[in-house]
Amino acid sequence: MTDPGMMIETPRLRLREFHLDDAAAMHAMNADPEVLRFTGDVPFASLEEARAFLLAYDQYRTRGMGRWVMEEKQGGAFVGWCGLKYDPDIDEVDLGFRLPRAVWGRGYATEAGRACLEYGFGKLGLRRIVGRAMADNASSHRVLMKLSMVEVERKTDEGAMWVIYEVTR
């Protein structure tokens, strides 16, 4: 890997650090109510807000991990993001993913998620990684279970029921 922002490659995908050029794709993905339906997030109010988010994103430098853009190796199309995020408030690392509706069902979240787990356990030496999905989000539950994650907890946060999964080394 020659690009310093390139983090991981899979058979079909490249996972790399966010770039400012990703703002339009991130904004468009987050503008789809179906994409955000099970996230608890709100859409970016504008393209400028998406740019500001990308400029402020510091997980790579502060934690050695982060959410990475997923792009297809053939053609370089943006197909969402996937990656690890450390939450210091609860001292845990979370695997997350988000994809535009146009690429749902292609196995990208599972492929990228598997690579992110390998990175976390191998390169970062993590012992435990969690994944979260709203109780009604069957697709995310399937991805997390394909990644050998097991349900460990259910909890309500801001009125939504979340299922917490984990996998350990």
Residue 2 has pLDDT above 70, yes or no: no
The Cβ of residue 84 has, within 10 Å, a number of other Cβ atoms equal to 23
pLDDT tens-digit readout, 124-164? 999 999 999 999 999 999 999 999 999 999 999 888 899 99
* Residue 133: C-alpha distances to residues 20, 52, 107, 152 (Å): 28, 26, 17, 12
For residue 88, give the DSSP letter: T
pLDDT band at 109 (very low <50, low <70, confident <90, very high): very high
Q: Which CATH number fits domain 6-168: 2.60.120.370, 3.30.360.10, 3.30.300.210, 3.40.630.30?
A: 3.40.630.30
State the pLDDT at residue 43. 87
Question: What number is the average pLDDT over the span 99-108?
Answer: 95
* Predicted TM-score (pTM) of this structure: 0.91
When the pLDDT of each residue in the chain is averaged and rounded to a whole number, the result is 93
